[in-house]
Chain A
Amino acid sequence: MKHQGPPSSPLHQPGIHESGYRHVSGQARYVDDVPLPPGTGHGWVVTSPHAHARILSRDATAALARPGVRAVLFADAIPGDPIIGPIVHDEELLASQEVLYVGQAVALVVADDVAAAKAGADAVVVEYEPLPAIHTVEEAIAQDSFVGEPHVIARGDVDAALAGAALRVKGELRTGAQDHFYLETQAALAIPEEDGCVTVLSSTQHPTEVQSEVASVLGVGANAVVCEVPRMGGGFGGKESQATPFACMAALGALLTGRPVKVWLNREADMRITGKRHPFVGRYDAGFDEQGQLLGLRAEIWSDAGFSTDLSMPVLDRALFHLDNAYFVPTLHFTGRACRTNRPSNTAFRGFGGPQGMMVIEEVMSRAAERLGIDPARLRARNYYGAAPRDRAPYGQEIVAEHNRLPRIHAELMASSEYAARRAAIEAANAGSRWVKRGIGYQPVKFGISFTKSILNQAGALVLVYADGTVQLNHGGTEMGQGLHTKMIAVCAHELGVPTSAVRVMHTATDKVPNTSATAASSGSDLNGQAVRDACEVLRERLRGVAAAMLELSDEHAATLRFGGGAVTHPASARSLSFAEVAGEAWAQRVSLSATGFYRTPGVGYDHASGRGTPFYYYAYGGAVCEVEVNGLTGEHRLCRVDLLHDVGSSLLPTIDRGQVEGGFVQGMGWLTCEEVLVTDDGHPITVGPSTYKVPAIGDVPVDFRVELLPRAPQPGVIHGSKAVGEPPFMLAIGVVTALRHAIGAFGEGEVELRLPATPEAILRAIEHQRGAG
């Protein structure tokens, strides 16, 4: 190995994060770090103290009298459309008549500094008349309070299948909300430009939406607004649609005060105002044969959408699309509804409903295994998709057997993790241990890749080559830490044959690449990678002609020119030109050195009315084996060992992908164990900071953490054979729950009753239940 020279392409090689050195030295700049133009105002949001109330009056007199306060903006100050929303416009940017949740924005105070703005916000007087509120999914169902229409997916005669089943598993599963807890809270800086135009620096996953919503709120054309994203300090879906309101507020403040305005939320404001992962209530009725083969599943799922539509409908869709997870469900009837409640509008969060849907069938699988006394891993494997007719997803898409990586993952992971031997050893040890029990759990994951709203599956890029051979790369995706820019630099460097150091990726900006989709749905590399390649190919072919002329080659020989290692080489003669020489000559020849690229995913589509279609371009697969130890006195647990084997196709950059797998798993573990969003009965959030809301810390992660990317697994039809990786590993953490159930089950006979999240208290309750049953 060490005798080899540097690889000519950065693809499929270990690599560091393109911003790594900036991160570790404090040079990486986020919206809140950008030096402010003189006179910048700071915005602070006045929020509702009621879950539901009529606004009787609003008075800014006292606030405006406070030192440093420049403006107090209410809804009537909005020159354009006062209603925003990512799909359906149904949220007031600033509430005018009625507030619909505790934390809803009513006014924006702009002052000379943050302290003055906060003090001003405290001095704004709003009178309310409290109204009855809907706090839970059950209350919403009872009052027929929904967002959107029901979504039904059905196949076969599920009632007959259930009636004839040897084993019926019926019950209800609740999964909880999860705060994104991106380390960088929401932030936007709006700078007024000439002619009523505005530039907005936003920490957003969706710059085009910020651009269009700002334009709508200000009543100007989209061309009057530029949205630029320096980078994000984490997003996880929380900045897909919910960065937009704060960007709109900053832009409104800038327009109305004529000065730059920054709106930055502190942690508490962020956790109060913004939506979370949707909590779901799922009711299931499943039938199995004696061997644990699933015969049918009837499932109804309800999400808590919160006060507005936001992204709740596609989240619900994805939950329904993942009720099957990796398993063939012969007969089924799935219904989904999104409940409108007086809570913050719940939103995108890594997995986008997938984890919530998947958790339902995993609960079913675990309970069936416990009832039948079958190893839960074996029961799961029995139900995998397979050859026809067991190759059809509930919505009719073919689960192409040759692309189904689960049988391979299952076999490799069972062997490498020594699952069976460890399970036997654990059961023997548990029998001799009174207070402490261990458990092991296996979790397979199949996750559909594509935006389920098909038109979003498009991307653009703009690549600029300068006459000195250096490159500026623009693409429509945003960097939130996931390594998208690192991958895009690698794709660009690969296509042009230049070192990665020659490629500078620019801030994502709507004046470079227009009409982009959110960086979401794990699709960033798939979509933008193809667009970057498309643009680079155009440039490379132009440069090929230039280089061929410089080397006096025929067309036939021109086709053999190789771009690599910062040079253009003619293999037959071994003559080469530096990339910079060729670029310089192209400029001299008046050949264009900029190009756009574009991509749209082929062949995806879905019909809601019939519940049939091909919503996904392909599936990503993974498997996990988790071992836990549970303390029967306190309900505490620790994760002893985790083995992950995940399918990312031919990884574009394996070091980056490993980071996504590990980080996704730990975030999923947080959702299922320690992260508990708590609200008072009247809708006031209790967990509004890390002192009360507990995301995993370093000690929660097992020291024995074995992570492998599935080798030799290229995927056809995607950028360099690679697969999306952002979301799927999140659901591998369901294996922790299965392991906990195994350990808890060792405290007594019968089916385990474990609520989620599995906090120490939830686990201790489950253990007490088990002891009672035993």
Chain B
Amino acid sequence: MDGIRLHVNGEALEVRDVSPNTTLLEYLRQHLHRPGTKEGCAEGDCGACTVVVIDPQAPGGPRLRAVNSCLLLLPLLHGTQVLTVEALREGTGPDPAGYHPVQQALVEALGSQCGYCTPGVIMSMLEACYRDDLDAPWKLDDQMCGNLCRCTGYRPIREATQRIAGLRPDDRFSAALRQATSAPAPTALRYEHQPPHGGAPQRCWMPTTWEELFELTAAHPAHRFIVGATDLGLDVTKKGERFEALVSLHGLEELRRLSHEDGRWSIGATVRLADLEDATDRALPPVARMLRFFGSRQIKNGATVGGNLCNASPIGDLAPVLLALDATMVARGPEGERRIGVDDFFVGYRCTALRPGELLARVELSDPPAGARIGAYKVSKRREMDISAVACGLRVDLDEAGVVAAARLGFGGMAATPARARRAEAALVGQPWSEAAAEAAAQQIAADFSPLSDHRGSAWYRATVAANLVRGFFADTQDEPVPRLPDRPSATVLGAGLGAGLGAGLGAGLGDDLGDDLDRAPEAQP
């Protein structure tokens, strides 16, 4: 049996004595006695547990990734370097000696009050400090939205983050990133733990070849694939699940490949959502747009394309966009590859067309044709870091005359699986792309779906919003085939809003119309 080898704050560790179902957070706090990293929720939704992992394999070179340590299982850290809040200060001495610029910035902005979310805030800021692409205000919010703070109201956190974003001081973290370039590829892991009070052994493998992978899956039919643990980790922390056979897909380089050549996309199953967002930013706006509202930075840094799709949740946000884009899912099994159209992939509630022993290897799709109008929307109670009430990918292909030749309206949150609105599509095909046609399609949504009521929205709300999104899709694509990406924070449909016409330049000297005495300029008081 191998030990799990990782570095925590520069210290080399080889772990042999804990369950592979141990979260990184639990390991840091209970085993290493480093209580700086906090547990706020154990479901990846508050960010107090945020740590940074150096990812040597990231596209474009090694990078720091802020991740939720409450969800990551320890074997997934095999071969990595983990940084916690305790790593930032160098040396000791009276304040402010030795603090990292992100720490200094947050203290000076009074970005901590109770301090409990702060270690996580600091680690998200640390990633921001070494990113070079935080070039718009909304990106700062995207970077920080995975850290809930109940005290400050965020203004000082935003200001401190702005101050340090992209600063990238020439320090030991920059050096670590440079050194990571030459890091060896991860070695295979075979890890086993016998629970002290009995029960079956708990194992985790990280195979590096397909042969090894299929050997394992054949030998352990109850295996679970795991990469980012952003969903599976919840079973461990919330349901007390202790998996006996985990198969990490970190060791298969092929699954991480992402390419866009000659209008064809090939997106490996373990491509991180954060990396897909970067790659699609300008090249495939509907996907980028959905990812912008997808989840926190920490979740996008961990979660993968394959995880989001194979989970087959009716509220997985990639699925509706891929339905609109008519993607092809490429499955791989011991016998080789098999291609499945996205329409046939989701076969039931949390159930895919993958056969036992198969896994999703990659997603393939083409850039939409020139005549396509395409949009993607997500509506949730909170814009950031929330699960959809309704999500959709909407597309119409127009012929030269402006008539709808084909329509693909993919919805999430409306049925037991991500699904197309076939009646609404039928109402569009053959019609000129007009408000009347969109209205006719919107009217059909009620016939297409009978959504459920739950805490994210009533059936009435879902049905009304789904129909309204079709109307909004028309309004959005009247002038531009692919709606611009809305800045955040912003409503998800008609993202430009009224903002262009209001706000700046208003006011000065326009006076008041109230007339009451109260509106007179105040007199100075002592």
Residue positions of A touching B, CB distance < 8 A? 16-17, 19-30, 32-33, 35, 67-68, 113, 118-119, 180-185, 231-236, 266-268, 375, 377-378, 381-382, 384, 407-408, 410-412, 414-415, 418-422, 424-426, 429-430, 433-438, 480-483, 501, 629, 631, 633-638, 640-641, 655-656, 658-659, 662-667, 674, 676, 678, 686-687, 689-692, 694-701, 703-705, 707, 712-714, 759-761, 764, 768
Q: What residues on A are CB-neighbors of B179 within 8 Å?
A: none
Determine the residue in chain B with the shortest Cβ distance to A35. B33
Cβ distance A502 to chain B, nearest Cβ, rounded Å: 12
Which residues of the partner chain A approach B522 to less than 8 Å between Cβ atoms? 408, 411-412
Whether B16 sits at the interface, judged by CB under 8 Å, is no
A31 → chain B, closest Cβ, in Å? 11
The reply to whether A760 and B108 form a contact with Cβ atoms under 8 Å apart is: no
Contacts A/B (CB < 8 Å), 13 sampled: A17-B110, A23-B118, A24-B107, A182-B114, A183-B38, A231-B114, A631-B493, A638-B491, A659-B151, A662-B153, A690-B148, A694-B382, A760-B465
Q: Which residues of B contact A637 (CB under 8 A)?
A: 491
**In the assembled complex, which residues on chain B have CB atoms less than 8 Å from the CB atom of A419?**
512
Say whether A21 contacts B96, CB under 8 Å.
yes
Q: How far is the CA of A698 from the CA of B30 in the complex (A)?
A: 30
**Contacting A699 at CB < 8 Å: which of B88, B145, B514, B526?**
B145
Contact A24 B118 (CB under 8 A): yes
Whole-angstrom CA separation of A691 from B44 in the bound complex: 8
Shortest C-beta distance, A753 to chain B (Å), equals 15
A689 touches B112 (CB 8 A): no
The answer to whether B455 touches A698 (Cβ under 8 A) is no
Do B501 and A712 touch across chains, with their CB atoms under 8 A apart? no
A698: chain B residues within 8 A (beta carbon): 141, 144-145, 147, 149, 154, 157-158, 384
Which residue of A16, A22, A183, A764 has the most chain B CB atoms within 10 A of its CB atom?
Answer: A183
Taking the closest CB of chain A, its distance from the CB of B29, in whole angstroms, is 8
Contacts of A629 in B (CB 8 A): 491, 497-499
- Write out the residue numbers on chain B whose beta carbons fall within 8 Å of the beta carbon of A761: 389, 457-458, 461
Query: Is B425 positioned at the interface, with any CB of A under 8 Å from its CB?
Result: no
Pick the residue among A17, A184, A411, A658 that contacts B521 (CB under 8 A): A411
The answer to whether B381 and A420 touch across the interface, beta carbons within 8 angstroms, is no
Contacts of A267 in B (CB 8 A): 40-43, 46
Closest 8 CB pairs between A and B? A26-B36, A481-B114, A233-B116, A418-B507, A23-B115, A421-B510, A481-B113, A666-B153
CB <8 Å contact, B494 and A436: yes
Are the CB atoms of A701 and B155 closer together than 8 Å?
yes
In the complex, whether B221 has a CB less than 8 A from a CB of chain A is: no
How distant is the Cα of A695 from the Cα of B95 in the complex, in angstroms?
33
Contact of B119 (CB < 8 Å), options: A26, A268, A638, A696: A26
Min CB gap B350→A, angstroms? 17
Interface residues as binary, B367-406 with A (CB distance below 8 Å gives 1, 0 otherwise): 0000000000001111111110100000000000000000
The binding surface of chain B is classed by DSSP as: loop
Residues of B contacting A433 in the complex (Cβ-Cβ under 8 angstroms): 498
Chain B residue numbers with a CB within 8 Å of A384 are 518
The chain A residue sitting closest to B500, CB to CB, is A429
Chain B residues near A375 (CB, 8 Å)? 513-514
A697 adjacent to B145 (CB under 8 Å): yes
Given contacts A434-B475, A678-B455, 4 further A-B contacts (CB under 8 A): A16-B108, A234-B116, A236-B150, A408-B525
Q: How far is the CA of A422 from the CA of B504 in the complex (A)?
A: 10
> Is the CB–CB distance between B113 and A483 below 8 Å?
yes
* Cα(A411)–Cα(B36), bound, Å: 47
Q: Which of B170-215 contact A (CB under 8 A)?
A: 196-197
* B311 located at the interface, meaning its Cβ lies under 8 Å from any Cβ of chain A in the complex: no
CB neighbours (8 Å) of A635 from chain B are 461, 465
B38 touches A184 (CB 8 A): yes
Q: Is the CB of B38 within 8 A of A691?
A: no
Q: Which residues of A contact B145 (CB under 8 A)?
A: 697-699
Within the complex, what minimum Cβ distance (angstroms) separates B214 from chain A? 34
A19, A424, A666, A700: the one within 8 Å of B513 (CB): A424
Tell me the complex Cα distance, A438–B156, Å: 26
Q: Which of B45, B110, B455 contacts A655 (CB 8 A)?
A: B110
User: B residues within 8 A CB of A636?
Assistant: 379, 383, 491-492
Whether B42 and A266, one on each chain, are in contact in the complex, defined by CB atoms closer than 8 angstroms, is: yes
A433 to B152, CA, bound (A): 35
Bound: A665/B151 CA distance, A: 10
